Amino acid sequence: MPNKAYRVSIIGASGYTGSELARILINHPEVEIVHITSETHLGKNFSDLHPQFIGRLDMPLVSAQNILAEDQDVLFLALPHGVSMSFVKQWAGEKVKIIDLSGDFRLRNPKVYSEWYQKEHIYPEGFKNAVYGLPELHGERIAKASLVANPGCYPTASILSLAPLVAGGYTDPKQVIIDAKSGTTGAGVKPSETTHFSNVNENFRAYGIGTHRHTIEIEEQLGGISAEEEARVQFTPHLLPVDRGILATAYANILREIDQNQLTTLFTSFYKGQPFIRIRNQAPSIKDVRGSNFCDIFPYLDFRTGRVIVIAVIDNLVKGAAGQAVHNMNLMLGLDQTAGLMDIPIKP
């Protein structure tokens, strides 16, 4: 097999996101995985941590400190919040393109970050160049970026569900409600009391009520496409007793007259040319997108209440994390944006 065109490395191998990045990138036609790092599992093979890769990706795990940025085309930072910023600072000025899957550069500035993440930012200069990596809204900027802040999983589904209404002036983004549910992998690979099997199985709970850090991320992005340049959303996340998937239900008051056909046309037109958005004529389920980079959206006009109800579903590990990161990489490298990402969802 001839050498592929681009060299990429995954910084952080132990979590679900690092594993999912490897699953997608190993079959990408244009890139070669040259390094995968882990500070706690040095010397082990990647497939020791993730046995599904036995015989396919058995490369040894190395330290991120041994990565030479000049030898890479793209670095994926699959690291926790508060950790990624150190590596972005370390590699600042290098020609390598960085896609950060943490929340360290998603927000407007370091002051907002410290308010919502309760942590001081050690590399505030990075906010000047970071581009929010939602391709459906910022594709042209992503293509020119050297640092992309990959969106959160909840914000991805939430923003995409409301963007056509907000951008078109059909709703007031200061009066929208988002009720969202996620599978347990959204909490990461490290076990906790919240994700303990006996607390999740046959159970259903809300958390982060009124305080979840993804709230500000959603508000900033919707405010950025609003004529009023401001959004104030009521966002409540819930934990589902499933492995993966997000279903977000958004409720928006209608300010301009519209019927169901016009509403569907509004969404279809707004996302024209976006290969991973599928506008549905009935409410989708999380299994409709499982294992894929698709976001299925169903906008519904409730004549009785004068509201639009929008259902959006994604796989939180793919469109909500690793798949979106690869989509961003494709744009940054000038590749076909669908490269390596057109797998059909797994169902059942």
DSSP assignment of 67-128, as one string?
A: --GGG-SEEEE---TTTHHHHHHHTTTSS-EEEE-SSTTSSSSHHHHHHHHSS--S-GGGGG
pTM: 0.96
Helix (H, G, I), strand (E, B) or coil at 22: helix
pLDDT tens, position by position, 308-348: 999 999 999 999 999 999 999 999 999 999 999 999 999 99
Provide the CATH number for the domain around residue 48.
Answer: 3.40.50.720
231 & 117 share domain: no
| Cβ count within 10 A of residue 270 | 17
pLDDT-derived band at 198 (thresholds 50, 70, 90) equals confident
Residues 6+ apart with CB under 8 A from 94: 69, 70
Q: For residue 260, what are its two tokens?
A: 């169901």
Length of the chain as a residue count: 348
294 exposure class (CB count in 10 Å sphere: 0-12, 13-18, 19+): buried
pLDDT tens, position by position, 131-184: 999 999 999 999 999 999 999 999 999 999 999 999 999 999 999 999 999 999
Q: For residue 139, what are its two tokens?
A: 């594709």
- Which position among 24, 88, 153, 176 bears the catalytic label? 153
Judge whether 167 lies within some domain. yes
User: Amino acid letter at 340?
Assistant: G
Q: Which of 79, 114, 129 is the last residue of a domain?
A: 129
> How many domains, the chain?
2
Q: For residue 311, what are its two tokens?
A: 């259902």
Query: Structural domain of residue 171, as residue ranges?
Result: 153-318
Q: Assess whether 153 carries a catalytic annotation.
A: yes
Over range 282-301, report the average pLDDT. 98
Judge whether 329 lies within some domain. no
